[in-house]
């Protein structure tokens, strides 16, 4: 079952329910802001005070950072522009009673050309079941090559950040964005302060361990992963986030970032895929 809904301010989102899971996806940014398996705790974290307004990014869920991750390119908005652009809903398929497939699409337009002067097609496909599959496909429709950095900026809900461990990144090099130094991960990741790291050479599944459950993340078309929690001071300064919100989420972002930048040649495509199970 699926239904296209609209808030009083005109903000549109798709609500999906099947025998295994439910999800909500905003047309702005093709932004998944809710996903949970039936009768289970939500997988994704969403800020209680997040805005649902046209032109403003949702705080939580899975923002699409495209065609740039971060703010290294000063000519583009931080994390690019896709997360505040309206996507077209191409199709919703109920593959069976347990599985729903959603296809959303963004193409270059007059507004995008003012920010990033390339012709492109961005297809976001989501498969909702007891696993969540997300595929972000970039196609170069221009007459010249372009490069992208990008991320599926997933916010995972946790019982308490003090009790969280992340496995699967041992011995992987990472850039610590707080010190701008490259280091090597030693063992599992735990949290006792702000963490902002871009891991490289990631080639296997990552496991988020909370006190009562495990969440696995498997990436394709990507060798970089961002792990982020703003902690106390930064959280208190962030928009659409309560001062203590840092306790309830951790971001594990599937990405093409820094060394993993991708050059998309004319008429070629690249797909970033994440499976959460």
pLDDT at 71: 81
Domain count, the chain: 1
Report d(CA 184, CA 187) in Å as an integer. 10
Q: Take residue 44 and report the two structure tokens written for it.
A: 């994704």
Which pLDDT score is estimated for 260? 97
Using 50, 70 and 90 to split pLDDT, how confident is the model at 39? Answer: confident
pLDDT, tens digit, 9 for 90 and up, residues 129-161: 999 999 999 999 999 999 999 999 999 999 999
* pLDDT tier at 169, thresholds 50, 70, 90: very high
Residue range 182-206: average pLDDT? 98
CATH number at residue 32: 2.70.98.10
* Range of the structural domain that residue 151 is part of: 2-276
Residue 54 main-chain phi, psi, to 5 deg: -60, 130
Taking Cα atoms as reference points, which of 70, 51, 105 lies closest to residue 269?
105
pTM value is 0.97
Question: What does the buried/exposed string (b/e) look like for 67-104 if buried means 16 or more CB atoms within 10 Å of the residue's CB?
Answer: bbbbeeeeeebebbbbbbbbbebeebeeeeeebbbbbb
Where residue 123 falls among pLDDT bands split at 50, 70, 90?
Answer: very high
What distance in Å separates the CA atoms of residue 78 and residue 142, rounded to the nearest whole number? 23
């Amino acid at each position: 079952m699926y239904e296209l809904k609209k808030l009083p301010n005109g903000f549109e989102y798709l609500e999906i329910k099947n025998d295994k899971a439910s999800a909500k996806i905003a047309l702005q940014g093709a932004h998944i802001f809710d996903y949970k398996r039936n009768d289970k705790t939500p997988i994704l974290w969403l800020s209680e005070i997040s805005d649902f307004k046209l032109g403003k990014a949702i705080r939580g869920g899975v923002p699409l950072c495209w065609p740039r991750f971060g703010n290294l390119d000063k000519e583009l908005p931080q994390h690019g522009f896709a997360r505040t652009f309206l996507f077209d809903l191409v199709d919703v398929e109920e593959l069976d009673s347990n599985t729903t497939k959603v296809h959303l699409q963004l193409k270059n337009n007059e507004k995008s050309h003012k920010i990033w002067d390339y012709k492109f097609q961005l297809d976001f496909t989501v498969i909702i079941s007891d696993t969540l599959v997300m595929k972000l496909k970039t196609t170069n429709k221009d007459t010249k090559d372009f490069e992208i950095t990008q991320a599926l900026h997933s916010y995972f809900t946790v019982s308490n950040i003090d009790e969280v461990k992340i496995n699967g990144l041992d011995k992987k090099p990472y850039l610590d964005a707080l010190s701008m130094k490259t280091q090597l991960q030693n063992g599992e990741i735990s949290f006792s302060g702000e963490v902002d790291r871009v891991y490289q050479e990631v080639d296997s599944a990552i496991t988020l361990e909370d006190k009562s459950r495990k969440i696995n993340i498997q990436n394709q078309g990507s060798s970089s992963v961002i792990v982020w929690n703003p902690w106390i001071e930064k959280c208190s300064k962030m928009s659409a986030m309560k001062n203590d919100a840092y306790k309830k989420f951790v971001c594990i972002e599937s990405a093409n970032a820094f060394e993993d930048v991708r050059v998309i040649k004319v008429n070629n495509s690249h797909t970033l895929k994440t499976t959460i199970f």
